[in-house]
Structure 1
Amino acid sequence: TDGSRDAWFVGYSPDIAIGVWVGFDDERSIKLSGSQAALPIWSELAIRLIPRDLPDFEMPTGIVQRRIDPRTGQLATSRCPENRPEFFIAGTEPTTYCEVHGGGMWERVKETFGLSS
């Protein structure tokens, strides 16, 4: 926070949320960031409380995942140098393939015939 008066870290799994706050009651500076002060404590708790074989999060109904080109926000093609998964409310996801890096027509053919991964 401002002036390094406290530090915090919050993490979660499908079954548990853990929040750690570190600071003084009199607002003295701890001179540490969340990753320096709170994260190590959180990590110790998580190791003890969160099972290693934890299932993945379930995709909520009405949410879809698409790989996008982060530069354009359009659907990524095989020619995009970077792509990342992004989540959308169904019906709001991009429908245009990346026009900067090309490959859009081939991606549409793969999708039409169920060849896209």
Structure 2
Amino acid sequence: MEGFNFNFWLVIGLMVAFFAFRAWRNETRGKKKASGSLVVPPGVHHVQIDYMDQRGKMTTREITAHRHRGGKVYAYCHLRHGERTFLVENIIGPVTDMETGELLDAEAWAESL
């Protein structure tokens, strides 16, 4: 088929889906609270997160967080067996405390580090 570039339109479609998802997530963030309050117990570092990378790929990660600075969480990723940096804005949904199973608001959890 002349003039039809499948890869080009695939990339365009993926970009549209990615930005639509981010807009939806930003619109709904904060409407549902993962826990009854936004108070996160101190010392919650071993958690599970759902994370979307820069290419739009979603993965579930088990991490041990060290610190939070500038919208980034610095942590050991048990999936990749190494230190990684995670953007808080790319954490999808609540964070799960691996010790208690409690669901925590991602932004409140990151701020508590």
Q: TM-score, length-normalised on structure 1?
A: 0.25
> Larger relative contact order (C-alpha < 8 A, sep ≥ 6)?
2
Q: Give the structure with the larger strand fraction.
A: 2
Q: Give the structure with the larger helix fraction.
A: 2
Q: TM-score, length-normalised on structure 2?
A: 0.26
